[in-house]
Structure 1
């Protein structure tokens, strides 16, 4: 894009005005392209999931390529060139045109150039605008009208140069975290969501966030659950309401938030694990970030909210995709009996359907409400003249013409008003869903920190007590060992294949005088060990685990051995942790004492190579004090459960423990 042009190279130069009936095609121009719309030409690579397809632009000039010859358009013989005319013996033609321009120099040249260049000189006030790709076509059109109007600020002509820019790249620059494709701070920023602005404002970096001037949103799009029309029809036939709850939908997607209650959500008619939930990367997209904010908002009043949020994050992590386009590309690619559904902006559903797929997508609007992408205009410059210019541009972007433009792209107005094209026939509802309250900057920062921690792959050593007392009942029909194994099995299902896991058991004198025995070594769950994967071997080990009759609890020797093993094999790209399950207190009188155990861990613990210990006590005979002293030396904790449901809840709570490291 040149310094005198407010339209990037890929944008059409001659755009038709809005028009067409309800059947006129529309396109998806944003969420599919987090890095910007690709430039045309043979060198351009299509974004993931588009299979080289170029999206239709509702503002694009119709194709004017010559039609093939046919009966009505038969090729005509070429016209014979006309000889140049002579008037008074003077030859007219190309040469005459050149002579004419020379004669006009100094007389009419200003008139020829003033229309486009009188606001491009050194005295002009130029504001650079970075707009999110999906809204950029409408912003470009508004900027053209803005420039044509020749606004003035302090006797200076104002013009706007617009560039389609990934919001994540601008946020990275403003937060001082480096450069990700954007090297200069724009004067005006129009990301897809205010969450980016709050994330920058909540960062620790001083300076760039200071002086932000918030002008207001120019378009909105709620985050919805998108699914193929056939799946939506199946849910209706099952009796699922038009607006099911998020809890029902996430439970059917296999979220851990409801795992302790068995298959499906209570009272729900949606079959368990029916869906394969897809979420665009929260670190790269506002839609993914909004999903985390949504989960935190819905679980905020839950006493076990942190543990349940952990379970939701584990589910989201399993379905992370690089972009919204990749979500829709997966439709029709079933994984067993699980059908893919997508958390996506409503505008993306509109644009997907505008490309006339074989099966349209349907937007589901959950009953609790949702988060809206608001496409705010924010002036980043502290120059008063540029602030005034940004406000003037904001007026143009909220004009009736601009609202019509954003509607053609599939956006609602800033107050939630839907375009006239929204209907059940194209999978959308004209009535706006309930908007959940916006999250403050500090909460957005905290949520994204939690995601960064919780989405790290886990490297875990699980250790189960098989002493004789573990055979006691914790509930009718379930012993302490059975309840522990059932929880461990459920926990295993939450871990993606790139997690590393190992399984030990312990009692007293299990193997060669040691109080512990390794059943499965620590390593990737998807690694093949012989004819089976490690995940399969762990499940097989669970099925074969039995108590040692009359066995004692060799707690301290096992803890030291496990800690030393995990520290020795530490991997920095993982969260390295130990989960130890027991129903009692140390009973190995020949092993180390509590003081010796605490001293060993205190001296061996390395904050640069941290190994987190969490301990689970089952029943009333647990030495909670000793467990807690050991665990807290590593920023872990000890938990005690007396029912199977509490075991599951505490397991999730332990997984979320790293959220507050090192202060918890």
Structure 2
């Protein structure tokens, strides 16, 4: 393990140094009575509380190690361990929501994600306090025989989880990319496997959302119910006990590395780094190592004792991080269901003649019908229209259809039929100016407040103009809001589609870029259907 100040938690020097303080007789004379009070000293006149967020699987082992080590051997520090999902910790760190001083996520990939968005980067103190290989698991006798991770992706019924919320769920995709890079083979084969698996996972995530109370069935839960195979960690399989088996493809696997990270504020960073060294020493001690292995984690990469787990397996290295990220983005485009609020500009300019037979609005309606037909039934769509004061004073937008799955029954028909009917009504709403900024602001907050972790959440804006509301947010205020309210754990993309050269292309690009979305422009009105279909197919990525 990487260093800092590492002192073994059970070293004899600490015991001898504080032995004299172990029992102190304090004699107090009260009303002629001699009272003996036994005070068991720790050798610390006081302790410093330090908050530590730890991946839920690892937290019990960390707590056990900390509790078993005397205060003086952990730097007189009271490590307050909280089991917390990494996505939740990221949200706290980026928005000042009572973030921890130290953090142990499941993977260093979470650290990279934080540092890509944070104003002040976090620091890795110890690259790995424990590890666990990602495996394919099932009930005994049902583990699929796979030579490579591309085979795993093709396995019927395999449960991967959501790569946007779990580093374990990312692992098969990264592993397949690493296999392709190492072999130098045509990436088309890996991509073909990914397409089929992604589409299957898309429907599975949607089914989970319908049957699980929090909408997020985890692979380890599926495995525990006997409905595998599932992609989990070796540690999770070991903790489940007998009746389950795990395997790793011949090519190797990705390791969860559990780094120890310093996340305290700038002014407290130096002291927190000292405390991180103390915690690393605790976990590197004999006491800490025993706690980690007893909970099914590897220490220093050594396979688990007693033949537990999958034994010695090669670690797959990602030689081209850019290609790995491209693979993840491709997966998200293919696998994760779409959840979008579509905003249609119904300002007066949308009535302008576009060609001999159609107005801009009529072409936009045709484009919307084509786009709607591209979405599968597990897509969630809603529709707003906007101009100026469309739904009363200072309310430029109006909800026509709330967000629902397209196959949901709503009123007399399905949501797909309701969306189509709303699109047909747009022509009758045309008139007035363009209230762009307030509409985008409200839509962004609406989608974020009702965020679905099992979908790509987005706002799609179709407009032929620029903001004309004199009392609305300014462009800078809108961009500032999008930046301040951005949440990597609950990302919402804004996809903008400009209609003709009248659209403010530069501003639309700025708005989309602020959320990681894309911007498109149909310079020729005749291109509106094609551009809209392109935007839908890419899902804003």
Please report how far the alpha carbon of residue 397 of structure 1 lies from its aligned counterpart in structure 2 after TM superposition: 0.6
Return closer, same or farther for 1:288/1:605 CA change in 2, 3 Å cut-off. farther
CA deviations on 1:469-525 (whole Å, 9 max, x unpaired) are xxxxxxxxxxxxxxxxxxx9xx98x94534579xxxxxxxxxxxxxxxxxxxxx955
Gaps of 5+ in 1: 1-98, 236-241, 253-274, 333-339, 423-427, 462-487, 502-522, 536-560, 579-597, 616-624, 638-653
- Determine the structure 2 residue equivalent to 1:276: 157
SS at match of 1:411: coil
Q: Does the 8 Å contact 2:178/2:319 carry over to 1? A: no
- Determine the structure 1 residue equivalent to 2:297: 411
Q: Does the 8 Å contact 2:194/2:331 carry over to 1? A: no
- Determine the structure 1 residue equivalent to 2:17: none
Q: Does the 8 Å contact 1:226/1:342 carry over to 2? A: yes
Inter-partner Cα distance in structure 2 for 1:172 and 1:445: 24
Return closer, same or farther for 1:136/1:599 CA change in 2, 3 Å cut-off. closer
- Determine the structure 2 residue equivalent to 1:386: 272
Inter-partner Cα distance in structure 2 for 1:440 and 1:420: 36
- Determine the structure 2 residue equivalent to 1:591: none
SS at match of 2:134: strand
Please report how far the alpha carbon of residue 346 of structure 1 lies from its aligned counterpart in structure 2 after TM superposition: 1.4
- Determine the structure 2 residue equivalent to 1:316: 201
Inter-partner Cα distance in structure 2 for 1:529 and 1:393: 55
Which one of the candidate residues 52, 59, 66 is aligned to 1:129?
A: 52
- Determine the structure 2 residue equivalent to 1:166: 85
Please report how far the alpha carbon of residue 206 of structure 1 lies from its aligned counterpart in structure 2 after TM superposition: 0.3
Return closer, same or farther for 1:429/1:453 CA change in 2, 3 Å cut-off. closer
Q: Does the 8 Å contact 1:214/1:378 carry over to 2? A: yes
SS at match of 1:247: helix
The answer to whether the aligner puts 1:175 opposite 2:94 as a matched pair is yes
Inter-partner Cα distance in structure 1 for 2:136 and 2:90: 26
Inter-partner Cα distance in structure 1 for 2:71 and 2:498: 76
- Determine the structure 2 residue equivalent to 1:590: none
What TM-score comes out, normalization by structure 1 length?
0.46
Return closer, same or farther for 1:614/1:412 CA change in 2, 3 Å cut-off. farther
Task: Please say which structure displays the higher CA radius of gyration.
Answer: 1
Inter-partner Cα distance in structure 2 for 1:419 and 1:627: 68
- Determine the structure 2 residue equivalent to 1:119: 44
SS at match of 2:61: helix
User: What RMSD in Å do the two structures reach over aligned CA positions?
Assistant: 5.3
Inter-partner Cα distance in structure 2 for 1:614 and 1:250: 36
The answer to whether the aligner puts 1:139 opposite 2:62 as a matched pair is yes
SS at match of 2:127: strand
Which one of the candidate residues 206, 210, 215 is aligned to 2:119?
A: 206
Inter-partner Cα distance in structure 2 for 1:131 and 1:528: 42
Inter-partner Cα distance in structure 2 for 1:574 and 1:206: 24
- Determine the structure 2 residue equivalent to 1:228: 139
Which one of the candidate residues 294, 303, 306 is aligned to 1:420?
A: 306
Q: Does the 8 Å contact 1:459/1:575 carry over to 2? A: yes
- Determine the structure 1 residue equivalent to 2:534: 636
**Aligned ranges for residues 36-47 of structure 1 at < 5 Å?**
none
Higher helix share: 2
Inter-partner Cα distance in structure 1 for 2:246 and 2:297: 14
Please report how far the alpha carbon of residue 143 of structure 1 lies from its aligned counterpart in structure 2 after TM superposition: 1.5
Gaps of 5+ in 2: 1-26, 206-215, 343-369, 383-403, 417-422, 431-439, 448-456, 463-496
SS at match of 2:113: helix
SS at match of 1:163: strand
- Determine the structure 1 residue equivalent to 2:253: 370
Inter-partner Cα distance in structure 1 for 2:226 and 2:412: 32
Inter-partner Cα distance in structure 1 for 2:291 and 2:498: 69
Please report how far the alpha carbon of residue 277 of structure 1 lies from its aligned counterpart in structure 2 after TM superposition: 2.4
Return closer, same or farther for 1:162/1:658 CA change in 2, 3 Å cut-off. closer
Inter-partner Cα distance in structure 1 for 2:152 and 2:178: 16
Return closer, same or farther for 1:443/1:599 CA change in 2, 3 Å cut-off. closer
- Determine the structure 2 residue equivalent to 1:651: none
Q: How many residues align?
A: 377
Please report how far the alpha carbon of residue 368 of structure 1 lies from its aligned counterpart in structure 2 after TM superposition: 3.0
Please report how far the alpha carbon of residue 148 of structure 1 lies from its aligned counterpart in structure 2 after TM superposition: 3.9
What TM-score comes out, normalization by structure 2 length?
0.55
**Aligned ranges for residues 442-591 of structure 1 at < 5 Å?**
447=328, 451=332, 455-457=336-338, 495=376, 497-498=378-379, 526-527=407-408
Inter-partner Cα distance in structure 1 for 2:45 and 2:87: 30
Please report how far the alpha carbon of residue 100 of structure 1 lies from its aligned counterpart in structure 2 after TM superposition: 9.5
Moved more, 342-351 or 391-400: 391-400
The answer to whether the aligner puts 1:346 opposite 2:227 as a matched pair is no
- Determine the structure 2 residue equivalent to 1:246: 149
Q: Does the 8 Å contact 1:143/1:161 carry over to 2? A: no
Q: Does the 8 Å contact 1:281/1:288 carry over to 2? A: yes
CA deviations on 1:315-373 (whole Å, 9 max, x unpaired) are 333333433442224424xxxxxxx4211111111112x1x4xxx22212123332211
Inter-partner Cα distance in structure 1 for 2:51 and 2:518: 48
Please report how far the alpha carbon of residue 200 of structure 1 lies from its aligned counterpart in structure 2 after TM superposition: 0.6
